[in-house]
Homo-oligomer: A and B are copies of this chain.
Amino acid sequence: MLAVQSNTRFQVKPLYMQVRDALLERIKDGQWRPGASLPSEIDLYRQLGVSLGTLRKALGVLENEQLIVREPGRGTFVRDHQAAQALGRFNPIRSADGAPLRGQVKSRKVKLTSPTPAEKAALRLQAGEQVVRIHRIRVLDERPFAYEQIALSERRFPGLAGEAGFPDELEELAQDRGMILARAEAKVRLAPASSAAAQALSLAERAPVLSVERLAFDTDQEPIETMTAYYNLHDEYCRLELR
């Protein structure tokens, strides 16, 4: 039975949003793991003490947020963002055939440092908080095509700088730590390659490259990661969806 936040029903938050929050909490807790099925709608609405319509509205919100998948006749499942076909949701780079381009990570450096002022603002860090910084080169058939600089809040990823084998895909890393990515925004520019980027991409210093500055958010709208990537692309491109 769900504890409604107020006896005048609409004062705080619609009931279906309270249900949505309660369900999301149970997903984050790991009570229902990625890929696993939720109880049936009938079980759930009886369990929660709300009507079927209200429960279904809550599930509709979670479906819209891409946190669950509903399959008629089968059940409702926690979306697995680590599944191969789901990976690269926040990577806008596509190869000529339209498939997400990830390549292979060739070189990776990880250290604990102070954030740049831009990172501090973007990640909403307190004074003195540090970031886990990652420098990474991605290659495609030996050819380096991406140089990435990443900053993650040390508070949200404690001990990460000391770990060795953590995953390179942001979705995997977040899911391993019990966070779920909701959305990201990015700025795409033409920029001169920094000396580090030029060296990584085998280009002349200040050679023009495509830069993507990405900021990714949690389901709570909390910033999780900033990435600045420099790309040396040929047939590949950056995909953009407008609505």
- 0/1 per residue, A194-226, Cβ < 8 Å to B? 000000000000001110101010000000000
Q: Give which listed residue, B89, B183, B208, contacts A241 with CB less than 8 A.
A: B183
Per DSSP, chain A at the interface is: strand
What range describes how many residues of A lie at the interface?
A: 20 to 34
Are B185 and A210 in touch, CB under 8 angstroms? no
Are A237 and B183 in touch, CB under 8 angstroms? no
Chain B residues whose CB sits within 8 angstroms of the CB of A182 once the complex forms? 243
In angstroms, Cα B214 to Cα A185, docked, is 19
In angstroms, Cα B238 to Cα A187, docked, is 6
**Contacts of A75-94 to chain B: CB distance below 8 A:** 89-90, 92, 94
Chain B residues whose CB sits within 8 angstroms of the CB of A243 once the complex forms? 66, 89, 182-183
Chain B residues whose CB sits within 8 angstroms of the CB of A214 once the complex forms? 240, 242
In angstroms, Cα B203 to Cα A190, docked, is 15
In whole Å, how far is A122's beta carbon from the nearest beta carbon of chain B? 14
> Which B residue's beta carbon lies closest to that of A215?
B242
Kindly state whether residue A139 has any CB partner on chain B within 8 Å.
no
Q: Give which listed residue, B89, B187, B209, contacts A239 with CB less than 8 A.
A: B187
Are B241 and A238 in touch, CB under 8 angstroms? no
Are B186 and A233 in touch, CB under 8 angstroms? no
A residues touching B (Cβ–Cβ < 8 Å)?
66, 89-90, 92, 94, 182-190, 208-210, 212, 214, 216, 233, 237-243
Other contacts beyond A189-B237, A210-B210: 12, CB < 8 A: A89-B242, A90-B242, A185-B242, A186-B241, A186-B242, A188-B237, A189-B210, A189-B238, A190-B208, A190-B209, A208-B208, A214-B240
